[in-house]
């Protein structure tokens, strides 16, 4: 699955140059020329990295950065590479404090630019895995056992009790292949009765409801299923 990057840059020649080299690196690219276009793209799609020019017409890159870092934002943990002609230390510190993960100053060396992008994508949300007593997160998918909630890209996913227990079992064992028999053992319980072939039906329904997070659930042909470590 290709990484997806949104470039927010009003100088079209610079945006096209960055896009050209990212595409050569196997990355899908979309370009927005101002803050309004950027917010529209971020609302409708998911990206693994945001490359953000500071000096934009209208809404500044810094204001965009600050807004999408607000708690509950769909892009709260999406990595941000701030591109700026403002090379003063105080400006760079401000950009990082506003939520940027890294910065690069104009004019920049393309090899350095690509290296910074690659580094941020390695730490991208696709690879984020966290687990607390009540919550498991893998990429954009979050399961909360205390609230009995599942969210994908901050949107609530309505699951049946069987689907919830099935997803919980696989997320707890992420990266491991679980046979249908093992899944039945893990899922079976009070109010939840599962038979062998019903697992396939539950997986089908689960994937359909997970939407953009569905690719996390992998079929291991002839064996069973697993939740991948990353998207």
Instruction: Give how far Cα 137 sits from Cα of 20, 80, 131, 165, 167, Å.
Output: 33, 20, 6, 15, 12
pLDDT at site 125: 46
pLDDT bracket for residue 7 (50, 70, 90): very high
Q: What CATH number does residue 15 fall under?
A: 3.40.50.2300
Q: Is the pLDDT of residue 126 over 50?
A: no
Q: What is the dihedral of CA 218, 222, 224, 229, to 10 degrees?
A: -40
Residues 86 and 153 in one domain: no
pLDDT digits (tens, 9 = 90+) for 69-91: 887 787 877 889 999 888 787 88
Residues 19 and 93 in one domain: yes
Same domain, 9 and 73: yes
Q: Where are the beta strands (DSSP E) in 100-210?
A: 102-105, 129-131, 135-138, 141-144, 149-152, 155-157, 178-179
Same domain, residue pair 104 and 181: no
Question: The CATH number of the domain where 169 resides is what?
Answer: 1.10.10.10
Residue 10 and residue 99 in one domain: yes
CB count in 10 Å sphere of residue 48: 23
| 135 and 113 share one domain | no
Pair (60, 112) in one structural domain: yes
118 with 35, same domain: the answer is: yes
Q: For residues 167 and 94, give the distance between their C-alpha atoms in angstroms, rounded to a whole number.
A: 40
Question: What is the per-residue pLDDT for 124?
Answer: 56
pLDDT (tens digit, 9 = 90+) per residue, 153-185? 888 999 998 899 999 999 988 877 788 888 888
Give CA separation, 33 vs 44, 45, 105, 201, in Å. Answer: 16, 16, 18, 44
Final residue before a domain boundary, out of 107, 127, 147: 127
Pair of tokens at residue 73: 């934002």
Provide the domain limits for residue 182. 129-227
Whole-number Cα distances in Å, 42 to 31, 38, 74: 11, 6, 8
How far is the C-alpha of 153 from the C-alpha of 180, rounded, in Å? Answer: 28
The pLDDT of residue 152 is 92
Say if residue 96 is in the same domain as residue 19: yes
Q: Strands across the sheet with 141-144, in order?
A: 129-131, 135-138, 141-144, 149-152, 155-157
Report the number of distinct structural domains present in the chain. 2
Residue 121's closest CA among 102, 136, 107? 102
Q: What pLDDT score was predicted for residue 231?
A: 53
pLDDT of residue 99 exceeding 60, the answer is: yes
Q: Is 188 helix (H, G, I), strand (E, B) or coil?
A: coil
Of the three residues 99, 127, 155, the one that is the final residue of a domain is: 127
Same structural domain for residues 144 and 96?
A: no
Q: Is the pLDDT confidence value at 127 over 60?
A: no
Could you tell me if 186 and 221 lie in one domain? yes
Q: For residues 19-47, give the mean pLDDT.
A: 92
Residues 193 and 79 in one domain: no
């Amino acid at each position: 699955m290709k990484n997806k990057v949104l470039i927010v840059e009003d100088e079209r020649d610079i945006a096209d140059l960055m896009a050209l080299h990212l595409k050569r690196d196997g990355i899908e690219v979309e370009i927005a020329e101002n803050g309004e276009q950027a917010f529209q793209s971020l609302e409708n799609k998911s990206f693994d990295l945001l490359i953000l020019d500071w000096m934009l017409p209208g809404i500044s890159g810094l204001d965009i950065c600050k807004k999408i870092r607000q708690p509950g934002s769909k892009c709260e943990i999406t990595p941000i590479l701030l591109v700026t002609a403002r090379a003063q230390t105080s400006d760079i510190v401000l950009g990082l404090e506003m939520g940027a993960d890294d910065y690069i100053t104009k004019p920049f060396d393309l090899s350095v630019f690509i290296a910074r992008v690659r580094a941020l994508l390695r730490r991208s949300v696709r690879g984020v895995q966290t687990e607390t007593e009540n919550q498991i997160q893998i990429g954009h998918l979050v399961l909360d056992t205390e609230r009995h909630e599942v969210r994908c890209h901050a949107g609530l996913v309505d699951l049946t009790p069987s689907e919830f227990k099935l997803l919980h079992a696989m997320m707890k064992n992420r990266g491991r292949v679980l046979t249908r028999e093992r899944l039945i053992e893990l899922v079976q319980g009070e109010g939840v009765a599962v038979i062998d072939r019903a697992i396939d039906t539950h997986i089908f329904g689960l994937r359909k409801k997970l939407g953009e997070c569905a690719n996390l659930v992998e079929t291991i042909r002839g064996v069973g299923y697993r939740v991948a470590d990353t998207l």
